[in-house]
Amino acid sequence: MESHLEHIMTETKRLFGPDFRVDTPQFMHFVILSKTNCICCAFSYYEDSRHGPSFLQLDELRMQPCPILCSLSGTAILFKLFQLAQRLQIQTIRLYDASSIQYPNCKHPVHMSMAAYNILIYGQSWYNRMGYYQRNFSADFERNLYLIQQRVHSLHKHRQRQIQTMLLDIGSVLDTRECTLQEAFVAMDTYRRHNTMDCDMSEYLSDLVNMFVELFDLKSDESLNLTLEVDNPQTRLIYSRTGGRAALLAELRPEFPSETPAGRPAGVKKQTSFVINKL
């Protein structure tokens, strides 16, 4: 009869398939690697204890600059962990969100909080959108929406000028006298998705995000300790759609028809970015 460790190994290998390797550097700690030895994710299993029932803890979820990146998207990996928890009859998956967007090839490496970046666009983090919530999520979400729906012209003049400079650099037609903070960051994100930013532009965007992290207090420990309730009906709804990821994210992402992606300015060198979800 296989042990509990062997059972988790077996189920993990079945879910990720032959293109991935499962290592256990520590007892009940599992690392999923691609054929090129890129770490796709790492998680730990915690037994029933006096502190509560068994749970999985996602320790790391990253797409790192290997010769060939992990072939699974972050969304696909979370879907597999959700399936694994269901197979193991585990009710919760926990994590601490320290995810970041990085531009590592610049003279001075640039990085910004992925959670804060998404909050400025959606009012919630990427993990929130994937069903992982902090204890006070409802109140935080309501507060975040209030903050990002402020008009840019209501901010301090220095902050207005910084946003206006960024919008001009990306060729945006938005009027900072009329647009909201959310609309401004959606425009920036639209540009970032269609045009790989150069180092100067990515550093400016990072500085903008970090400015609002401090101003709005977007990185408190309490808001970054997240839990996925596996049997929650909303969770099942989210993960039943994950196969159609584009449709899911399109539904969750605010769109402003007046804003169109601008072309990359002539002579600007393309700079590769990637996401590291270091938990």
Angstrom distance (rounded) from CA 176 to CA 163: 8
Give residue 39's identity as a one-letter amino acid code: I
Helix (H, G, I), strand (E, B) or coil at 102: strand
Q: Are strands 92-96 and 29-34 parallel, antiparallel or unpaired?
A: unpaired
* Token pair recorded at residue 164: 């206006």
Q: Which of 148, 93, 104, 103 lies closest to 125, judged by CA?
A: 148
- DSSP label at residue 54: -
Helix (H, G, I), strand (E, B) or coil at 46: strand
Burial of 152 (0-12, 13-18, 19+ CB in 10 A): buried
Going by pLDDT thresholds of 50, 70 and 90, the confidence category of residue 146 is very high
Segment 52-78 shows an average pLDDT of: 80
Q: Is the pLDDT score of 260 beyond 70?
A: no
Residues 87-141 pLDDT 10s: 999 999 999 999 988 887 888 888 899 999 999 999 999 999 999 999 999 999 9
What sign does the dihedral 36-37-40-45 (CA atoms) show? positive
Q: Is the pLDDT score of 58 beyond 90?
A: yes
pLDDT reported for residue 95 = 96
Domain segments of the chain: what residues? 97-125+139-223+268-279
Q: Which of 104, 29, 23, 32 lies closest to 70, judged by CA?
A: 32
Least confident of 144-153, 154-163, 179-188, 234-243: 234-243
* Helical segments of 17-156, H only: 74-87, 114-122, 126-129, 137-148
Q: What angle do CA 211, 215, 216 make, to 5 degrees?
A: 115
Q: Are strands 39-46 and 55-62 parallel, antiparallel or unpaired?
A: antiparallel
What sign does the dihedral 135-139-144-145 (CA atoms) show? positive
Structural contact between residues 113 and 206, judged by C-beta atoms closer than 8 angstroms: no
Rg (CA), the chain: 20
Query: What's the pTM?
Result: 0.84
Top-confidence residue, 101 or 186 = 186
What sign does the dihedral 122-127-128-130 (CA atoms) show? positive
Q: Is the pLDDT score of 267 beyond 70?
A: no
Per-chain mean pLDDT for the chain: 84
Segment 49-58 shows an average pLDDT of: 81
Angstrom distance (rounded) from CA 207 to CA 184: 15
